[in-house]
Chain A
Amino acid sequence: METSSPCIVISDEEQGYDLDLFCIPKHYADDLERVYIPHGLILDRTERLAREIVKEMVGQQIVAVCVLKGGFKFFADLLDYIKVLNRNSDQSIPMTVDFIRIKSYSNGQSTGEIKVIGGDDFSTLTNKNVLVVEVTSLKCFFSYAVLKDIIETGRSIKTLLQLVKQCNPNMIKVASLLVKRTRSDGYRPDFIGFEIPDKYVVGYALDYNEYFRDLNHICIISETAKEKYKA
């Protein structure tokens, strides 16, 4: 397994910041414990990831594939930074985008088989440089099933990659904003924003039952909120 480039490692002891030190929507005052990763830090890190990606994926047209639903915000910001690099350098690479959702066959068991919903025909990936963009590469985000596809996505990335490989792309890379340190199946994306401990986080790209989409920092959710916004 190739080693991926360095990432920001957030230690287990890291407490984050007091909510009062940053701007937070008032309606979430009781729903959050701490600010864990400020929005500005996410953007700065994403800017660097964009540079790493462009350096490695030069040469062929890039097809950027966004894994919904959580991936959208990160995908948009990452691509904006890639576009800035493209328009300011001698070499610019054409880039197309696509959006997919991954659903596992819902029989209550994890067979590893997945269904890819949406997206263009995978044959369009032949000979291209494919960049799969996801938010979190993790085994199990919430310990209780909220949305099956969020839980399944982590396990399914490997299966997705196998499917994509069958179409003979020039290269496939995966960019993940967050990776949980507790992940045990040995899979590691090529480009990682932050490696974090096993904490309940929301905000930026991570919603909780559709809540917190309007929160730009990544924060630790409070116990009250877990109950309040339960499915």
Chain B
Amino acid sequence: MEKGIVIKDDWPGYSLDLFTYPEHYHDDIECVYIPHGVVMNRVERMATYIKDDFGDNNIMVLCVLKGGYKFCSDLVEFIKILGRNSDKYLETRVEFIRLKSYMNDQSTEDLHIIGSRDLSFLRGKCVLIVEAIVDTGKTMKALLKHVETYEPKMVKVAGLLVKRLPNMAEQLTDYVGFEIPNRFVVGYALDYNEYFRDLNHICVISKTGKMKYKV
């Protein structure tokens, strides 16, 4: 299992004035951490690993909302493009589960599922859990436990960002986009109290931003 693109602890990111971003976030972000284009190139590569592993099986994607929606949308699109060049029809079906696990910038212990907990559509399927960020791994561990109770045929986890922490988190993720240090990042659907989802690059939030949008 690959580590993904490793971003070092001392990576300063890019200065804001080198890229475009919504003007309303001007004071709220420190730097561009991972440009949108690089994210897209990496996601395209992840799609090929996934297609290779799932082979002839239909893929049942379980997208973790809300943060996972952009990653899921782009990943599934790349998987479909690969599928277009195959001689078999392979279905990629997407289902959604909504989790809430952060308060401000701190990860919480429990798994809060919003809406239906019923995942019986996973029974006997080859499941790909698509999550934007795996932090402490507590949420992912709890989710995997919940998913297993529905007896899927196989479960894999794709995480766009995996935090480099001395714990289980890494082993939980089968497909890693980027391994990042322990910084709070926003953008590409990752939010801070619902803000920054409309930012296409992955950025580091500024002190001003943290205070401004605090709950």
Contact = CB atoms under 8 A, between A and B. Distances in A.
Interface of A: 5-8, 17, 20-23, 38-45, 47-48, 51, 217
Interface string B1-22: 0101100000000110111100
- The range of chain B's interface size is 20 to 34
B19 A48 contact: yes
Interface core residue of B2, B38, B48 (most chain A CB under 10 Å): B38
B119 interface: no
A51 B36 CA distance: 17
6 contacts: A6-B18, A22-B44, A22-B45, A38-B41, A39-B37, A44-B37
Contacts of B37: 38-44
Contact of B41 (A7, A48, A217): A217
Given A22-B42, A40-B40, A45 B19 contact: yes
B18 A8 contact: yes
B41 A47 contact: no
Contacts of A17: 5
Given A8-B14, A23-B44, A48 B20 contact: yes
B20 A51 contact: yes
Given A40-B41, A42-B37, A44-B35, A21 B5 contact: yes
Given A21-B42, A41-B41, A42-B37, 6 more contacts: A20-B2, A21-B45, A38-B38, A40-B37, A41-B35, A41-B37
Nearest to B14: A8
Nearest to B39: A40
3 nearest CB pairs, A to B: A40-B37, A44-B37, A40-B41
A40 B65 CA distance: 25
Interface of B: 2, 4-5, 14-15, 17-20, 35-42, 44-45, 48, 201
Contacts of B39: 40
B20 A47 contact: yes
Contact of A47 (B14, B15, B19, B38): B19
Contacts of A217: 41
Contact of A23 (B15, B18, B48): B48
Nearest to A42: B37
B15 A6 contact: yes
Contacts of A21: 4-5, 42, 45
B42 A44 contact: no
Given A38-B38, A39-B41, A44 B48 contact: no
B38 A48 contact: no
Contact of B36 (A6, A40, A42): A40
A74 to B, nearest CB: 14
B187 to A, nearest CB: 12
Given A8-B14, A44-B201, A23 B41 contact: yes
Contacts of B18: 6-8, 45, 48
B41 A22 contact: yes
A218 to B, nearest CB: 12
Interface core residue of B19, B35, B42, B201 (most chain A CB under 10 Å): B35
A45 B40 CA distance: 14
Contacts of B201: 44
Contacts of B19: 44-45, 47-48
B123 to A, nearest CB: 34
A162 B36 CA distance: 39
Nearest to B32: A44
Nearest to B15: A6
A22 B49 CA distance: 11
A8 B38 CA distance: 14
A41 B15 contact: no
